[in-house]
Structure 1
Amino acid sequence: MTKQRAKWPYVLLIILIILVVILEFVQVPYYVHKPGTADKLESMVHVKGGYQDQGTMRLVTIYEIKANLLQYLIAKYDFNKYTDVYKVSQIQLPDETQQELNVRNLNDMKTAQDSATYVAYKAAGRNPTIKQLGIKVLDINSEMPAKKVLEPSDLIIEANGKPIHTINDFKKEIKGAKAGQKVQLKIKRGNETKTVSTQLAKFPKDWQTSGQSDEVGLGIVESDDVKVSVTPPVTFNTQGIGGPSAGLMMTLEIYNQLTPSDLSKGYNICGTGTMDFDGTVGPIGGIEEKIVAANKEGVDIFFAPVADHEAKDAEATVKDIHSKIKVVPVKTFDDALNYLKNLKEKKS
């Protein structure tokens, strides 16, 4: 009996190891969202010969991870109201792979950098220019013929021998086309330029929109790719951060480095919001988690989009966590710029 009992610790150890393996390596169809970081922009954005900030401008992130079973359980039953669990379908597009999601997020950041550069240089009177380069492929539906010849990050520059500069150019080229019709595409893939041929096809059901069930095309998620030319040059090192939400804060940081009068005035400044080329600030979501992340860094001022009630949600979160952050609602870049121009220097 003594020898039989001695086996139990080993059995329990094996069961524990199996349980740990299951918790760590079994993936579940959920993402975990929780407050990320509020990072200094001065190390990520550099205008050649630009002016230095007296205070600090920050972008803010959300920690997002495809969850394993352990991470899901911790987040699901974590009583912290600022940790959320989302279904994969709430984060990824229909039929979108993890690689394609990563490409889309990094492209959103690149677009944010382009629009931030254009708006900031224009506001500073530096005459930026935009060149349309073609269509960036972000995602290809696996049921479409184009999946065999296109890859995420391809740049479509011609269709049937005609130059393609924008998404609208391509739509005009295939207007009235039927399923099965061939189209020849010239694409750039990395440093290589090549020509591929594929067929247009009817969009799968999960890609069809109301009233357009008979629409045909390539079955791609795409983005207009542009080059913004400016003097002096600006460079970015966003360290793999994806998404468009840093648009507003990058615009402010670039403008601040371009102009001699320091906007930061000794304050710790953060915010969120997309930036359109016309200077409009758009909503992005997750603002509650971003306020929590900003509060950890002792932020004084937080710019929040008016759209989708995000500024009101930010103010409610500030109150809920007993923070001293001043939330400033904005609709445009000029709203944020004018607020900072009229701000008094922070007392030391």
Structure 2
Amino acid sequence: MPLAVLLPVLTLVVIAFNLKVPYVALGPGPTFDTLGEVEGKPVIELEGVESDETTGSLVMTTVGVTDNLNLAQTVTAWLSGRYGLAPREQVYPPNRSKDEVRAVDQAQFAQSERSAELAALHYLDLPVTLRVAEVAEDAPASGHLQVDDRIVAIGGEPVETAGQVQRAVGAVAPGESVAITVVRGDAEETVDVVVGERPGGEGAGFLGIATEEIPEVPFEVVFNLADIGGPSAGLMFSLALVDKLSPGEINGGLNVAGTGTIDSDGMVGPIGGITHKLTAAAEDGAEVFLVPADNCAEARTNEQDGMRLVKVETLEGAADALESIAAGGDAPTC
């Protein structure tokens, strides 16, 4: 090759391998069987109670992120069809360091563990105390509710979760009174509180309290999966806990994968990167994939051969769908 041609080619090659670009590559990440083990320990460990025998799998899926891409790596990722590209600032905001982003991700993951435990306990009708954790100064509830009050009803309707409290109070028009039944010490009493308007709540009622749900069970749940971030493992953690704490096999012995956030009410929320998670699950041999309802449209763009997409909106719905599939029946599909 003439030198006049070779030099520009070499220059382009050098540039391609040294020029950093403001993008990250997103692709299939590691998978973890929430019924299995990691580094010799159960992913979910029960202390103080015997775990029910389980088979099959309940796999949580993740999205892999590759940073510090050069131009050549970016083009290769784009051409592969396996990875997607996203502006780096979407994953690593310019006003935050990588350590700060990691800390937020880990905090979300820890919250997903707590919510998953509470959702499973509520599903299994195991005792959980709903208490007032804080009353804001000058809040509508100030002088009426106290820290450690156990909330049992609002407007005469029983409540068991923080979400139920928020929805019940939010349905009351600001300026109207609502009856709140609590257990204070050993006595039950009902107090009337005139609700305020939730900031930015467009007319929703507001008490100005923080609530906390506390498991009242004679065992402890320990999560042993580290160095994973984000809230999207909640659904699979909840299902694994239900499986370990109840007789029978919630998955029917099948290899099930899935994703989705969860709150203590058992409501399943959408996540990011569903197409990459489907690829990871298929490569892991999953037969069924649990898809948050709001992710169904995107999931259908990457359907995998031999893997059934099941639409889920709640923990109860997910458990019912798996039970139906195990029995050879139908289940909601995307």
TM bucket, shorter chain: 0.5 to 0.7
Deviation at 1:19, TM superposition (A): 4.2
Counterpart of 2:80 in 1: which secondary structure?
coil
Distance 1:112 1:130, change over 3 A: farther
The yes-or-no answer on 1:233 pairing with 2:220 is: yes
Hey, what does 1:155 align to over in structure 2?
none
Deviation at 1:226, TM superposition (A): 6.7
User: 1:305-347: CA deviations, max 9, x gaps?
Assistant: 111xx123223311xx4x111111011111101112333358x
Hey, what does 2:77 align to over in structure 1?
75
Hey, what does 1:334 align to over in structure 2?
316
Query: So what's the TM-score if we normalise by structure 2?
Result: 0.63
Query: Which residue type is aligned with residue 311 of structure 2?
Result: P
Counterpart of 1:119 in 2: which secondary structure?
helix
Q: Provide the identity percentage.
A: 25
The yes-or-no answer on 1:84 pairing with 2:84 is: yes
Which deviates more, 242-251 or 29-38?
Answer: 29-38
Determine the C-alpha separation between the residues in 2 that align with 1:260 and 1:287.
Answer: 31
Which deviates more, 231-240 or 294-303?
Answer: 231-240
Counterpart of 2:126 in 1: which secondary structure?
coil
The yes-or-no answer on 1:265 pairing with 2:252 is: yes
Over the aligned positions, Cα root-mean-square deviation in angstroms equals 3.1
Among 235, 240, 245, the residue aligned to 1:253? 240
Query: So what's the TM-score if we normalise by structure 1?
Result: 0.61
Hey, what does 1:23 align to over in structure 2?
17
Paired residues of 2:130 and 2:211 also in contact (CA < 8 A): no
Paired residues of 1:266 and 1:345 also in contact (CA < 8 A): no
Determine the C-alpha separation between the residues in 2 that align with 1:229 and 1:268.
Answer: 30
Distance 1:64 1:131, change over 3 A: farther
Paired residues of 1:112 and 1:247 also in contact (CA < 8 A): yes
Determine the C-alpha separation between the residues in 2 that align with 1:344 and 1:303.
Answer: 14
Hey, what does 2:54 align to over in structure 1?
53
Distance 1:95 1:227, change over 3 A: farther
Counterpart of 1:264 in 2: which secondary structure?
coil
Hey, what does 1:279 align to over in structure 2?
266
Paired residues of 1:37 and 1:294 also in contact (CA < 8 A): no
User: 1:226-285: CA deviations, max 9, x gaps?
Assistant: 785453211112231111111111110011111012112210011111102221111112
Deviation at 1:29, TM superposition (A): 2.3
Hey, what does 2:121 align to over in structure 1?
121
| Count of residue correspondences | 238
Paired residues of 1:305 and 1:331 also in contact (CA < 8 A): yes
Query: Which residue type is aligned with residue 264 of structure 1?
Result: N
Paired residues of 1:118 and 1:129 also in contact (CA < 8 A): no
Determine the C-alpha separation between the residues in 1 that align with 2:257 and 2:132.
Answer: 31
User: 1:56-110: CA deviations, max 9, x gaps?
Assistant: 110001111223315334323x231x41111122223451211111011111111
Query: Which residue type is aligned with residue 33 of structure 1?
Result: L
Deviation at 1:286, TM superposition (A): 1.1
Among 290, 305, 314, the residue aligned to 2:292? 305
User: 1:210-239: CA deviations, max 9, x gaps?
Assistant: 9xxxxxxxxxxxxx9978545321111223
Which deviates more, 336-345 or 295-304?
Answer: 336-345
Hey, what does 2:112 align to over in structure 1?
112
Counterpart of 1:38 in 2: which secondary structure?
strand
Counterpart of 1:329 in 2: which secondary structure?
strand
Paired residues of 2:105 and 2:229 also in contact (CA < 8 A): yes
Query: Which residue type is aligned with residue 319 of structure 2?
Result: L
